[in-house]
Structure 1
Amino acid sequence: MLSQEDFARGFDRDIFEASLDEGVIRERNDPLDEVQRSVITDRGATSDYKVQALLRACIHGNMAGETSSPASLILVDYQLQSLKSDKVFTAVTTGFTFSEYLGNLSNETKDKSLPTVIAYAPFERPVKLNQSTATEGTTQNAQMTLEPEVGGIKIGSAGFGGEKTSSHEQKYFEQGRAGRHFDHGRAHVVWWNLVSNKSQGSEITPQFRVAMLVERKSNAKFQADFKIAAKAGVGYKVQEIKDKWLYKTAIDDPIIFDPSKGPVGDLEGIDPLQLGKLKKRERLESLSFVPGLEMLGEGGN
């Protein structure tokens, strides 16, 4: 464990090694029961490291017709930017935890929403992103020894050596992964992870979008707790950034969703009564597409 002397002296650590999940509230609902606020989080106003998550679109409806299960489609845009060219974001993990709306606990007879994440994009399967190519060389030493004989007697030896160099193209990738966590069989947590192309020292994709299809048991309000943890440039000392990051880690107010509200954002072509069609991976991934984010196929480790 770090001592007070360590903090006073300063030490090197990834700026976002602290998860930013605990501490002061960053983004508040105003009023307290604000529904579907547009700014989910906005961090780094006084820092060279900028982190934003904005509600791009939200529509409430049903899975397959008016008499089917209620459902909601939610899209969120992310932007992570470093103003320092030599200190970039190298990884980010973000997620949402869905639950009942906690602002009305006194009404126990109210139908529960029981929001469940039944589909999500991108990265339902691990993928490789944004390929880069580097030429790598391999040098091998080759040795040969000759031992001539005269009348069965060795008269000495001679050695010959040389180096052989070969080269090949090596492909490197950024990686994207995602998944869910379950509680009593209900997928209430969904997360995404981006890891940079470490071999090339590049940053993660600065802009990306996620899509969530949430099935519900009723049209009652529900909410989602938001979390994000990112890693950026090594070499800053805690004492230099304590007032901006590590000493003021953040919790954002939950995002409150109200199925009685109209759609938010541009969702042209989406039928609110047929949201179940978006369970197909390619349909939901098309909604999470962002120009510049090149998916190159499945890949994990």
Structure 2
Amino acid sequence: MFGRIKLHPFIKANPPHADCAPATKGLLGRYEGQLPAALLELWRKHGLGRYGRRQICLIDPQAWQSTLDRWIVSPPDATLRVPIALTPFGTLLFYRKLTASDEDVAALNPVTRSVSILSWDLADLFNKVLSDPSQADEFIQPAMLETAQQEAGTLAPGEAYHVDPMLLSMQMLKIARTDALALHQKLRAQVDHEQAPPAPPPDSIRAALPDKYRAAFKDVERKDGHPGGALSVDLHRLAPTDRARRAGQLSAALLEERSQDGRSIGYSALQRAVSGARYRRRRLPAAARPGVHQQVAGQRCRR
């Protein structure tokens, strides 16, 4: 009908929120030819921001492009992926123009590190999938969204809900509001952390301590030229209050289990470092012994 935009069914089913702002001429010009005219028309008429009770957020691709490119590593001549929208739980939707007449829209879930194709036509995605409750509710579950709103409150612009996956696996639900872009960057950095080679084990207690704790233990290094540069922690010589303070600092340091460059050094490495120290009269409390941390193997999303 004359006067209606092509994505009118989407607007009817998902009215724009008050925080939506029309895209600038510069942004529209930048993506002319890269994104479908129907989406640019939606940007111009109603703007970027959140839509409907499902809080589907149309985003500025420039702010998200580098993050998407980190998630999906492609050759320089690969088809351009343009981030276009975000769900309230942080799933990132991106568009690809495959040929002159072919296109698709896919979703990247940063928690499960998976990519799935939602539609082979952008207009169908907006006017059918995201506008039909029977389909949209499978993609954005209303019960989970309601629970998130009750637990963490209403999302502010630029935020997303994050469900703690470790607690969820134990049938415990913890939902928090967080900056959506920072969440993606944090979860993507975890992949690099998991794929990084293991850090070399420390050869002394002081080397095993995080930087902020080293100054407190700089005076305990042995001066007798003992092989391997072992450290001696002689808590007996300290005043009672100092002994408690120093033991607490060492306990907190051991719990962090981090080497100087931020990579995990593991409990066994700490045990080897601690084996070069002497403790008199006072043993490290059980609560100070680091636990075993389970890590999930990561993989990069490739398309």
Q: TM-score, normalised by structure 2?
A: 0.22
Question: Which structure ranks higher in relative contact order (CA pairs < 8 Å, sequence separation ≥ 6)?
Answer: 1
Q: Which structure dedicates a bigger proportion of its chain to strand?
A: 1
Structure showing the higher helix proportion among its residues: 2
- TM-score, normalised to structure 1's length? 0.22
